[in-house]
Amino acid sequence: MSDPDEVRTHCPYCALQCGTVLARKGEDRVSVRPDDAFPVNQGGLCRKGWTAPAVLEVHDRLRTPLVRAANGDLAPASWDTALDTVAERLLRIRADHGPDAVAVFGGGGLTNEKAYLLGKFARLALGTRNIDYNGRFCMASAAAAGRAAFGVDRGLPFPVADVGRADVVLLAGANPAETMPPLMRHLEHPDLVVIDPRRTPTARAAALHLQPSPGTDLALALGLLHIAVVDGLIDADYLRARTTGFDAARQTALSWWPERVEQVTGVPVPAQREAVRRLASARRAYVLTGRGAEQHSKGTDTVGAFINLALVLGLPGREGSGYGTLTGQGNGQGGRELGQKSDQLPGSRSITDPRARTEVAEVWGVSADALPGAGPSAYELLDSLGAPGGPRALLVFGSNPVVSAPHAGNVAERLAALDLLVVADFVPSETVALADVVFPVTQWAEEEGTLTNLEGRVVRRRALVPPPPGVRSDLEVLGGLAARLGEPAGRYPSRPSAVFEELRRATRGGRADYSGVTYARLDAGEALHWPCPERPGEPHPGTPRLFLDGFAHSDGRARFADVEHRPAAETPDSAFPLLATTGRVLAQYQSGAQTRRVPELNDAAGEMYVEVHPDTMRRSGLTDGALARVTSVRGSTVARVRAVADMRPDTVFLPFHFAGSGRANLLTNPALDPRSKMPEFKVCAVRIEPCRTAS
C-alpha cells in the first residue's frame, strides 16, 4: 500500500484535539493546516499545533534502543538485545520479589489502543497492581467529583460547540486563551466570569475577573452558593425533580456569608454578587473548571462545590447549559477509562467490582481471580519506588515525571533507587536520561489509532509518514515484551485496529461504552461520543449530550456534595512568606520534552521565569529580568524575574515546563487530595531572593 499524500488527523498535544490536515512537503517533511470541517477548532490552531511537525524531525530523535552499559552510559543496542534485557530482568525481579515489584506509569497522551494494551499488559503479563498514570495529576479531582455528583465522569457532557451559544460561562481556574486557544472562538459570544489569582489573557477577555488567593476556591464557591440561596436565585423545581442532598449543602453554604468569603479569598463582596447575578440571570450558562481549581489537596471538594453552584441554578442536564471540566491531555479522557488508572478497568469500570472483573477477564480469556486489585495512585507509586517493600522496576510510557511530578527532587531520587527503569519515548526526555533501557517509539503522524477528546468524542489519529528506521510502536514494544515474558501468542496485538476491536468488547456494558464505535464509522466522518453501545439494526448514534433525561445514578438524580472549606496543606509563615502557584504558558507543553525542542516555541518562551508583583519584588530585593532563587521546604528553583503589576502581591507564579534547576516541581507539595489523590500543584509556601549564580 502506498502512503497517502495527505491525511486528516488531529494535533498531538492537548484535549481539544484540533482537527488538522497533514500533507507531504518534499521528501520526509510534513506540513500542517487546520481541518476547517472539525467543529471543535473551527479552522483554528495554536502555535504548538502549527509547529507540531517539527517534533517529527528533532535532531535528537530517539532512533535506536539504548541499554545502559557497564561504564554507566546509555549505549545503542539491537531491539532483540533491549527487549531480552528488559524481559530477563523483569522475570528475575518478579521471581525474587513478587509481581508487585514491577510497576507501570502511563500517560494521558497515549492513544486509546495504547492505554488499553498497557493496562492489560500490566495486569496480565506483569500481574501487578502497581499501575497508574499522569492523568492522576490532571483530571483526577474533577473525575472524582463528577462521578460523585452525576454517576459518570465525562469531561464535558456536551459538545464544545454548545458552549458558544451560552450567555454566560464561569471559568474557575482555567486559562484557555493560553492552554486551548481555539476554544476561545467558542467563548467570544458568552460573557466570561473568570476565577484566577492571576490576570491571565483569559481573565483580560472576561466581563468579570475574580482574583482569589490560591487555594481558596472552595470558600469562594460556597460563598457564591450562599448568595444564590439567600437572594432566592435557586431553581426550586429542578432541585426537587432532579437532585438530592441540597439541604446539607445549603446548611454549609449559609455560614459562608460574603464578608467572610472576602476575608478568606480576597474577592470583594460586590464582585461575588455580580458573579452570581450574571450566572443566575443567563438563559444559558456553563460552569467550567480547570486545573487551577482542581490541583489541590481539596480539589475534589472544590469541584463538588462548583457543581453545587451549577445545580442550584439548574444547569446540569439541561440543553444549552451545564457543568464540565476542561480535560487537559490529548487523550486524558480515554486514557483513564481504558485501564491505566490504578482503580479502573476498561469501560470506566471499577477494578473492585466483581461483575466488572468477570466481564473484563472474560474478554481477556483469564479467570477474574487472575486480575490484581487496585494499586496506589501516581504520586504514592512514585514515592514507593525502590523503598523497602516497594517496586524494584518501573516501565514508563508517555510521561516525564522527573519534570512534571510534584516534589520532583524526591521523585528523581526514587527513580534512581530502582533496579530497573525502562522508558519508551521518541525524544530523550529528562526521565529517559535516568533509564536503564530506552525504547524509541513512533509518534502521532507515524501511527494509527484513536483518542477521546474533552467532549467524549472519539477521534482518529492517522499516519502520513512511515516511522524512521529503527523505531517501533508502543504496541509493538508491549507485544515484544509480552512474548518474552511467556504470554500466549496473540494476546497483545500490535495492529491498532485489532486492539480497538478488542477494546470495544472490553468496554461493552461499561459506563464508557465504546462497543458501537468502529474505525469504519469514524473514517466515514461520523461524530461519535461515548457511550456508544453496539446494537443490532440501526447503529447507535453516540451520546453528544449526557444527562438530558436523567443523571447516571440509579435514581436518575444528581447528588449535592456535602463539603466544607479548609486551608491549603501548607500555608505561608515567616520563613516561607509567599504563596507559589504553577501552570502553563502558551508556547510550551507540559514537561516541555517535545516543545522545548521546537525553536519557534523557545523564541516565545524559552527559559524558566517567575511572575512577581513589583512591590514583592522590591521588598525581596529583586530586579526585573535578573535571576531569583525561589525556595520551599522541599527544594529551590532558579528563575528569571518578571514584574507583573496585576499579580497578587502575596503570590508568585511559575510555569512547570522547564528542566534541571528550573523545575517548578522542585518546590511543589505532594500533599494529596484524600479522595482523588491529586497532589497540591497549585499552592505551596515559598520565599524568593536574588540569585547570583546561574545554576
- In terms of CB distance, is 138 or 424 closer to Mo ion? 138
- Residue 226 C-beta: closest distance to ligand MGD, Å: 18
Nearest residue to ligand SF4 by CB is 49
Give me the DSSP letters along 399-426.
Answer: --HHHHSSSHHHHHHHHHT-SEEEEEES
> Which one of ligand SF4, Mo ion, ligand MGD, none interacts with residue 45, CB within 5 to 8 A by kind?
ligand SF4
In this structure, are residues 47 and 18 in contact, taking their beta carbons and an 8 Å threshold?
no
Chain CA centroid to CA 246, Å: 30
In this structure, are residues 197 and 581 in contact, taking their beta carbons and an 8 Å threshold?
yes
Beta bridge partners of 285: 168
- Residue 510 C-beta: closest distance to ligand MGD, Å: 23
- Residue 484 C-beta: closest distance to Mo ion, Å: 33
- In terms of CB distance, is 150 or 589 closer to ligand MGD? 589
Residue 548 sits at φ, ψ, to 5 deg, of -65, -35
In this structure, are residues 419 and 387 in contact, taking their beta carbons and an 8 Å threshold?
no
In this structure, are residues 342 and 145 in contact, taking their beta carbons and an 8 Å threshold?
no
Q: Is the dihedral of CA 488, 492, 493, 498 positive or negative?
A: positive
Helical segments of 159-254, H only: 160-163, 176-179, 201-204, 217-230, 236-242, 246-254
- In terms of CB distance, is 50 or 257 closer to ligand SF4? 50
- In terms of CB distance, is 266 or 509 closer to ligand MGD? 266
Q: Distance between CA atoms of 646 and 202, rounded to whole angstroms?
A: 14
> Which one of ligand SF4, Mo ion, ligand MGD, none interacts with residue 18, CB within 5 to 8 A by kind?
ligand SF4
- In terms of CB distance, is 293 or 311 closer to ligand MGD? 293
CA distances from 328 to 36, 354, 548, 590, 597 (A): 22, 31, 25, 10, 21
- Residue 650 C-beta: closest distance to Mo ion, Å: 26
From 94, 165, 159, select the one nearest 130 (Cα to Cα). Answer: 94
Give me the DSSP letters along 150-178.
Answer: HSS--S-SS-HHHHTT-SEEEEES--HHH
Work out the angle at residue 189's Cα, subtended by the Cα atoms of residues 186 and 190, and round it to the nearest 5 degrees. Answer: 90
- Residue 587 C-beta: closest distance to ligand MGD, Å: 7
- Residue 107 C-beta: closest distance to ligand MGD, Å: 5
- In terms of CB distance, is 577 or 606 closer to ligand SF4? 606
Q: Distance between CA atoms of 688 and 668, rounded to whole angstroms?
A: 14
The grid coordinates of residue 399 equal 510521561
- In terms of CB distance, is 194 or 546 closer to ligand MGD? 194
The grid coordinates of residue 126 equal 506483569
> Which one of Mo ion, ligand SF4, ligand MGD, none interacts with residue 11, CB within 5 to 8 A by kind?
ligand SF4
> Which one of Mo ion, ligand MGD, ligand SF4, none interacts with residue 593, CB within 5 to 8 A by kind?
ligand MGD
Which helix (H) or strand (E) segment holds residue 103: the answer is strand 102-106
How many CB atoms lie under 10 A from the CB of residue 236?
Answer: 11
> Which one of ligand SF4, Mo ion, ligand MGD, none interacts with residue 181, CB within 5 to 8 A by kind?
ligand SF4
> Which one of Mo ion, ligand SF4, ligand MGD, none interacts with residue 182, CB within 5 to 8 A by kind?
ligand SF4
Which chain residues interact with Mo ion by CB under 5 A? 138, 328-329
- Residue 408 C-beta: closest distance to ligand MGD, Å: 9
Residues in the chain: 695
Residue 620 sits at φ, ψ, to 5 deg, of -90, 5
Q: Distance between CA atoms of 91 and 127, rounded to whole angstroms?
A: 11
- Residue 135 C-beta: closest distance to Mo ion, Å: 7
> Which one of ligand SF4, Mo ion, ligand MGD, none interacts with residue 582, CB within 5 to 8 A by kind?
ligand MGD
> Which one of ligand MGD, Mo ion, ligand SF4, none interacts with residue 374, CB within 5 to 8 A by kind?
none
Q: Distance between CA atoms of 324 and 338, rounded to whole angstroms?
A: 20
Which chain residues interact with ligand SF4 by CB under 6 A? 11, 13-14, 16-18, 41, 45-46, 48-49, 180-182
Which chain residues interact with ligand MGD by CB under 6 A? 14, 107-110, 134, 137-138, 172-176, 178-180, 195-198, 200, 214-215, 217, 290-293, 295, 328-329, 397-400, 403-404, 424-427, 429, 441, 474, 581-584, 586, 588-591, 593-594, 653, 656, 664-665, 668, 681-683
> Which one of Mo ion, ligand SF4, ligand MGD, none interacts with residue 17, CB within 5 to 8 A by kind?
ligand SF4
- Residue 474 C-beta: closest distance to ligand SF4, Å: 20
- Cell 498535544 found at: 13
- Residue 605 C-beta: closest distance to ligand MGD, Å: 9
- In terms of CB distance, is 377 or 450 closer to ligand SF4? 450
